[in-house]
Structure 1
Amino acid sequence: MTPTTIRIRRTARSVAAGAFVLALAAGCGGAADQGDGSSPADESGTSQEAGDEGGTDSAASDDGGAADGTTGEDGADDEATDEGAGSDADNGEDTDDTAQGETAKPLPEDADLATEEMPISAERAIEIATETVGGGDLVQIEIDHDDRTWEWELELVLDGTQHELDIDATTGEVTEHETDDDDDRDPVVDVTSPLAYADAIDLALEAEPGRVTSWELDSDDGRVEYQIEIERSSGGDVDVEIDVETREVRIDD
């Protein structure tokens, strides 16, 4: 071969080798590009998934809105409770109106004090008398019918003055109030102790059955006693005296 031919072949091989190297480089670069391309795609996909999760968060946020709605339901419950309270208040007003509208009915003249109670009880009559006087000690109390209505008669002593009061047993009205000097120095009495008036009535009826028409608690010669008037079923009245300390029963025909 001539030197010229040898140079041409070497040049051709060099060109071919260079082309191969370029081609190989190009192939690696494409692979790298493809790898880079897949990574953004993956990242995009990841971003998409994150977006989906974000959508879930949005749904959760919507659920939060539903929770707010639940709070709204609680608000509705509160409103219902308020309405219920209003109903109770209305009922209370109706009850008050009813109570104010009601008028106590007086017991008939032939009422039996052993089985029926006055609209104004003995305890309440004492409270009314004490409020009227401004204090004092109870020394006498009586309940009977005065041809018009049932009436409480009480005597209280305050600062050396005796107060005599008549109180309507149906309405609680003080119909009479008189004062006088306390010359008797009577002992204090109590309708609840040591012998309550209901128990005294029971003891009287055991000794003398009938209808209780009146009773009184006061003192006689320093001894505190009940005097219970009973109408016998066979006719006629009888007084039964009961010592509050000993519970001794005496019948006074």
Structure 2
Amino acid sequence: MTITSRRFVRSAAGAAFVLALAVGCGSDTEDPAQPDQPSQEQDAGEGSGASDGGGSSDGGAADGGAATSDDGAAASDGGGSAAGSELPADADLASTELPIPAEDAVQRALDAAGGGDVHSITIDHDRRNGWEWEIEIRNDAQEHAIELSAISGEIIEHERDQDDDGEPAVDIADPMPYAEAIELALGAQDGRVSGWSLESDDDRIHYTVDIIPDGSNDDVEVEVDVETQDVRIDD
């Protein structure tokens, strides 16, 4: 091979080597025409952010649920306090104070009737209305039969009649308070006081105390005369 031929071969090989280097460098260089692509770490971060957002949303829902639950609990408590104010049907009136005591009930009935004389008063438990007072008042030859809640004091029923039997008026404080009548009745019959009444019958004023003996479902009526303090068990 001549010197000229060898120089041509070397020149061609060098050009090929330079071209190869240029191609290799070009492959490592980012194409400025292509937009930046997020890395996997960025993707993971954004996914975590979305998850956090979902967590915040879930947390909001959870908070909302908790608030609803709290509101429900508050309503339940309010009901509990309202239901709590309601005495059970098996309350013992010898040891339980009614929210609306007898004195208050009488005054409310007198206000509803427009005044008059009390001729009977009864406290017992009604299946529909719960604990209630039944009070009879007479004024101007008119009789008022008034039922009111022993828990709230609300008037449940108010009936009017022209009947007047001429029986004397009664007083829950004189000559014998109802607490004393209950004590005398329990001295004759042990048990739970489920109700009582004060009324006049044949010009005789007496209490009737309803007592349920232990282990029994039936009440025993014990009469207490307010004048003589005589106690009699009604068989």
TM tier relative to shorter chain: 0.5 to 0.7
DSSP 3-state at the match of 1:144:
strand
**Number of the residue aligned with 1:131:** 111
**Number of the residue aligned with 2:230:** 248
Corresponding residue pairs, total: 152
More helix by share: 1
By how many angstroms is 1:222 displaced?
Answer: 1.0
By how many angstroms is 1:116 displaced?
Answer: 0.2
Bigger-Rg structure (1/2): 1
8 A Cα contact 1:139 1:155, kept in partner: yes
**Number of the residue aligned with 1:115:** 95
8 A Cα contact 2:225 2:231, kept in partner: yes
Counterpart of 1:140 (choices 102, 113, 120) is 120
DSSP 3-state at the match of 1:166:
strand
DSSP 3-state at the match of 2:174:
coil
8 A Cα contact 1:129 1:165, kept in partner: yes
DSSP 3-state at the match of 1:109:
coil
Moved over 6 A (4+): none
Q: Which runs of 5+ in 2 are unaligned?
A: 1-80
8 A Cα contact 1:157 1:182, kept in partner: no
By how many angstroms is 1:139 displaced?
Answer: 0.2
8 A Cα contact 2:138 2:164, kept in partner: no
Q: Do structure 1's residue 219 and structure 2's residue 210 form an aligned pair?
A: no
Q: So what's the TM-score if we normalise by structure 1?
A: 0.58
Q: So what's the TM-score if we normalise by structure 2?
A: 0.63
Q: How far apart, in 2, do the equivalents of 1:197 and 1:249 lie?
A: 14
By how many angstroms is 1:183 displaced?
Answer: 2.7
| 1:138-195 deviation line (CA, Å, top 9, x unaligned) | 0000000011310000000010000000000000000100010133112100000100
Q: Which runs of 5+ in 1 are unaligned?
A: 1-101
Residues 1-253 of structure 1 correspond to what in structure 2 (within 5 A)?
105-148=85-128, 149-235=130-216, 236-253=218-235
Q: How far apart, in 1, do the equivalents of 2:180 and 2:194 lie?
A: 16
By how many angstroms is 1:220 displaced?
Answer: 1.3
Q: How far apart, in 1, do the equivalents of 2:178 and 2:86 lie?
A: 21
By how many angstroms is 1:234 displaced?
Answer: 3.6
8 A Cα contact 2:210 2:220, kept in partner: yes
Percent of residue pairs identical: 51
